[in-house]
Amino acid sequence: MTGPTFSTERLVLRRWSPADRRPFARINADPEVTAYRFAPLTRRQSDAIIDQEEANFDRQGFGLWAVERKRDRRLLGFTGLARSDFGARFCPAVDIGWQLSRDAWGRGYATEGARAVLTFAFEELGLSEVVAHTTRLNERSRAVMRRLGMSRSDRRFRRPLVPTGSPASSLRAQSPSGVRLATGRREDSPVIGHGTAPPTTRSTDPASPISK
Ligand SMILES: CC(C)(COP(=O)(O)OP(=O)(O)OC[C@H]1O[C@@H](n2cnc3c(N)ncnc32)[C@H](O)[C@@H]1OP(=O)(O)O)[C@@H](O)C(=O)NCCC(=O)NCCS
SS (H, E, C) the chain: CCCCCEECCCEEEECCCHHHHHHHHHHHCCCCCCHHHCCCCCHHHHHHHHHHHHHHHHHHCCCEEEEEECCCCCEEEEEEEEEECCCCCCCCEEEEEEEECHHHCCCCHHHHHHHHHHHHHHHHCCCCEEEEEEECCCHHHHHHHHHCCCEECCECCCCCCCCCCCCEEEEEEECCCCCCCCCEEECCCCCCCCCCCCCCCCCCCCCCCCCC
Q: What residues contact 167, with CB distance under 8 A and at least 6 apart?
A: 135, 136, 137, 185, 186, 187, 188, 189
Compute the residue count for the chain. 212
CA-CA distance, 95 to 62, in Å (whole number)? 11
State the pLDDT at residue 150: 83
pLDDT grade, residue 68 (50/70/90)? very high
To test the ligand 1 pocket, which listed residue (37, 100, 211) has its Cβ within 8 A of the most ligand atoms?
100
- Per the prediction, the chain carries an average pLDDT of 77
Distance from the alpha carbon of residue 98 to the mean position of ligand 1, in angstroms: 10
Q: Minimum mean pLDDT among 28-42, 66-80, 87-101, 168-182: which range?
A: 168-182
Mean pLDDT of 106-111: 98
State the pLDDT at residue 137: 79
To test the ligand 1 pocket, which listed residue (13, 79, 118, 141) has its Cβ within 8 A of the most ligand atoms?
141
Q: Give the predicted TM-score (pTM) of the model.
A: 0.81
- The atom of ligand 1 lying closest to the CA of 134 is 48
Is 158's pLDDT higher than 80? no
Among residues 177, 82, 77, which one has the least CA distance to residue 133?
82
Distance from the alpha carbon of residue 105 to the mean position of ligand 1, in angstroms: 5
State the pLDDT at residue 207: 36
Mean pLDDT of 75-83: 96
Q: Tell me which residues have their CB closer than 6 angstroms to ligand 1.
A: 33, 36, 97-100, 105-111, 134, 138, 140-141, 143-144, 193-194
Mean pLDDT of 58-83: 97
CA-CA distance, 152 to 29, in Å (whole number)? 31
Is 44's pLDDT higher than 70? yes
CA-CA distance, 2 to 15, in Å (whole number)? 7
Instruction: Taking the CA atoms of 164, 137, 141 and 25 in sequence, report the sign of the dihedral they define.
Output: negative
Is 58's pLDDT higher than 90? yes
Distance from the alpha carbon of residue 10 to the mean position of ligand 1, in angstroms: 14
To test the ligand 1 pocket, which listed residue (41, 75, 111) has its Cβ within 8 A of the most ligand atoms?
111
Distance from the alpha carbon of residue 59 to the mean position of ligand 1, in angstroms: 30
Distance from the alpha carbon of residue 107 to the mean position of ligand 1, in angstroms: 6
Is 182's pLDDT higher than 90? no
State the pLDDT at residue 194: 32
Distance from the alpha carbon of residue 35 to the mean position of ligand 1, in angstroms: 15
Q: Minimum mean pLDDT among 30-44, 131-145, 177-191: which range?
A: 177-191
What residue owns the CA closest to ligand 1's atom 33?
A: 106
Q: b/e per residue, 127-165, with b = 16+ CB within 10 A? A: bebbbbbbbbebeebbebbeebebbbbeebbbbeebeee
The half-sphere exposure of 141 on its side-chain side, counting CA atoms within 13 A, is: 28
CATH of domain 6-186: 3.40.630.30
